[in-house]
A and B are shown apart, each in its own frame.
Chain A
Amino acid sequence: MSSSPMAPPRSFRWSRRIFLTLLTGFVLLPVYVMVSSSLKPLADVTGRFRWLPSELTIRPYIDIWSTVPLARYFVNSLVVAGAATVFSVVIAVFAAYAVSRYEFRGKRVFTVTVLSTQMFPGILFLLPLFLIYVNIGNATGIALFGSRGGLILTYLTFSLPFSIWMLIGYFDSVPRDLDEAATVDGCGPLGALFRVVVPAAVPGIVAVAVYAFMTAWGEVLFASVMTNDTTRTLAVGLQGYSTLNDVYWNQIMAASLVVSLPVVAGFLLLQRYLVAGLTAGAVK
């Protein structure tokens, strides 16, 4: 069972079994509630909690689309998270390349500043950003406040610091000889970036993209302040099921599951890349 030269003692294996079983239960409990409740009729979720549905129904999965405009929220979230991801990755690639391959004045200031924005409480720049967007709108007519554009702009900067940090690590691990060889072959620095460094760092770029998408897909604070009826994202829209007199818990659970699936599936599929990227920085 064990690949180590010495088999671990029995007591260790038993304590491991107990601990990991309990932990699995704790982790999976909400997942079980989500899945089972999404297949229950309304009566099952308004009365005392039932471990098993009295009858299995897929009704909630049909109703979620009409109780609230879920499809619209879905499209909004997709557009916002998708665009934020694309921009964030491209911008992070350029910045990380500069830091990884060049010595220049202010390099350390740049990396420290960018990283330290990660520690700021979101609430600190929520108010000023809200005012900036409103004022830009009043002054120029560019509607940032309440628009998808404003949200995209905001979200892409959320994932940017961490993305740059992760990519610097990845780019550093691509041997410099490779891009120097490409430069000698007549590529400019950008040619070397796109023909040599980027292809060699695909796992890192995938990791950064997943991270950026997850960040944008799951954000609540700015979404709740900076969206209106037409631009509302899933993060805010899902609360629409619970403001009514009847709380449609079965539909909330069904909608939660539908909303989670793309992210969880993507995460588990690309897990290896993301984990490597996430941990590279901390372990170094």
Chain B
Amino acid sequence: MTTTVPDEAAERHTSPGTADGPRRRPGRIRRIGLPYLLLLPALLLELLVHLVPMVIGIVMSFKTLTQFYLRDWTTAPWSAFDNYRTAVDFNAPVGEALLKSFTVTLTFTLLSVGLCWLIGTTAALYMQENFRGRGVLRALFLVPYALPVYTAVITWVFMFQRDNGLVNKVLYDQLGLTDKPLFWLIGDNSFYALLTVSVWKGWPFAFLIVMAGLQNIPRELYEAAALDGAGMLQQVRRITLPSLRPVNQVLVLVLFLWTFNDFNTPYVLFGKSAPEAANLISIHIYQASFVTWNFGTGSAMSVLLLLFLLVVTGGYLWFTSRGRRTADV
């Protein structure tokens, strides 16, 4: 429709060349309807798979929904805020477990995002200049990102085996750093196992995005700084990092959401029941729902999780956009 304005202006002035333009233009109704028609399939699917289920999820969280009502969930009795009360009653077992899982997830996510960002940015900075083998390395570094999650994680499961895994072979047999072979997939060590796999899988994305961001920084900035006598570290601090700010703003948020919501990694790493030290929130809710078949409480937990993510995202965008006068967020 943006194009109609100049067209109409042209018509009124009857400039030559556009004289027979209007007749070819499709009818006004079609013109207005067409974008909606084009959006319709995407809209319907998003409604069916994301938005309607979300609304139903919110409704379900107010019901006592156990396996007996699965055939027709609408008949399940209303329970007002019971599910929420159960979920956030931190003195009772359910609430306590949820709080614990939330704490674990938050700690894990912050560490993982921090490390992914740090490794990705360092690698991108080191690879900003061309050197021999740079292209090959770049392709290699993308392998963890390209591998299907489950094949990569299953390989890590093998490496973390106590008796026949690579990790204990190196740490215990070869380096003697531990006094006995450790369990990595149960107990407290599972947190580090999960963190390792998550960073291994996640840093290439940070690397990719930062690499692309670096290419957009004008070379002249560096040359000017070099003339002024700024060393490499100063250039990174004064030019590179500030120029990357908008890129980092999106990158960190995306990494945070992906890591916080990650289900695949812990699920393949630990199976249906994750050890307490690595019990991420999505696994926890999955278990609370499908193991006990109590969908009401599971939904209440999901809604709380969504609210938390909304608040964090909103707060983060508000906080990081202050002082930035761009409207593209």
Q: Which residues of A contact B (CB under 8 A)?
A: 1-6, 8-9, 12, 15-16, 19-20, 23-24, 26-31, 33-34, 37, 45-49, 91-92, 94-95, 97-99, 101-104, 107, 110, 113-114, 117-129, 131-132, 134-135, 138, 153-154, 156-157, 160-161, 164, 180, 183-184, 186, 188-189, 214, 217-221, 224-225, 234-235, 238-239, 242, 249, 252-253, 256-257, 259-260, 263-264, 267-268, 271, 275, 278-279, 281-284
Q: A125-B49, A131-B56, A157-B45 are in contact. Are A98 and B35 (CB under 8 A)?
A: yes
Bound CA span A279–B173, Å: 43
Residues of B within 8 A of A29 (CB): 159, 166
Residues of A within 8 A of B286 (CB): 123, 126, 221
When the two chains form the complex, which single residue of B51, B147, B264, B305 contacts A121, counting CB atoms closer than 8 Å? B305
Bound CA span A20–B138, Å: 11
Q: List 10 A-B contacts (CB under 8 A).
A: A8-B129, A29-B159, A104-B35, A127-B295, A128-B299, A129-B53, A161-B46, A220-B150, A221-B267, A224-B267
Residue of B whose beta carbon sits closest to that of A46: B164
Question: Besides A221-B282, A253-B158, A268-B139, 8 other CB < 8 A contacts?
Answer: A27-B140, A30-B159, A97-B38, A117-B46, A118-B257, A135-B72, A156-B45, A217-B148
On whether the beta carbons of A27 and B158 are closer than 8 Å, the reply is no
Q: How far is the CB of A114 from chain B (nearest CB, A)?
A: 6
Residues of A within 8 A of B295 (CB): 127, 131
On whether the beta carbons of B38 and A94 are closer than 8 Å, the reply is yes
Question: What are the 3 closest A-B residue pairs judged by CB atoms, nearest first?
Answer: A279-B212, A128-B53, A267-B146
Contact with A along B276-305 (1 / 0, CB 8 A): 000001100110011000010011001101
On whether the beta carbons of B200 and A114 are closer than 8 Å, the reply is no
On whether the beta carbons of B146 and A23 are closer than 8 Å, the reply is no
Is B36 an interface residue, CB under 8 A from the partner? yes
Is B48 an interface residue, CB under 8 A from the partner? yes
Is B88 an interface residue, CB under 8 A from the partner? no
Q: A117-B50, A127-B302 are in contact. Are A27 and B130 (CB under 8 A)?
A: no
Residues of B within 8 A of A180 (CB): 3
Bound CA span A150–B164, Å: 39
On whether the beta carbons of B166 and A27 are closer than 8 Å, the reply is no
Is B110 an interface residue, CB under 8 A from the partner? no
On whether the beta carbons of B166 and A49 are closer than 8 Å, the reply is yes
Is B154 an interface residue, CB under 8 A from the partner? yes
On whether the beta carbons of B313 and A119 are closer than 8 Å, the reply is yes
Q: How far is the CB of B55 from chain A (nearest CB, A)?
A: 8
Which residues of B in the span 138-174 have a Cβ within 8 Å of any Cβ on A?
Answer: 139-152, 154-159, 161, 163-166, 168-169, 173
On whether the beta carbons of A114 and B1 are closer than 8 Å, the reply is no
Centre residue among B45, B161, B173, B209 by max chain A CB count within 10 A: B45
Q: A27-B143, A221-B264, A267-B142 are in contact. Are A125 and B232 (CB under 8 A)?
A: no
Is B54 an interface residue, CB under 8 A from the partner? yes
On whether the beta carbons of A282 and B247 are closer than 8 Å, the reply is yes
Residue of A whose beta carbon sits closest to that of B282: A123
When the two chains form the complex, which single residue of B32, B54, B150, B267 contacts A125, counting CB atoms closer than 8 Å? B54
When the two chains form the complex, which single residue of B49, B119, B132 contacts A157, counting CB atoms closer than 8 Å? B49
Bound CA span A102–B35, Å: 7
On whether the beta carbons of A264 and B208 are closer than 8 Å, the reply is no
Q: How far is the CB of A171 from chain B (nearest CB, A)?
A: 12
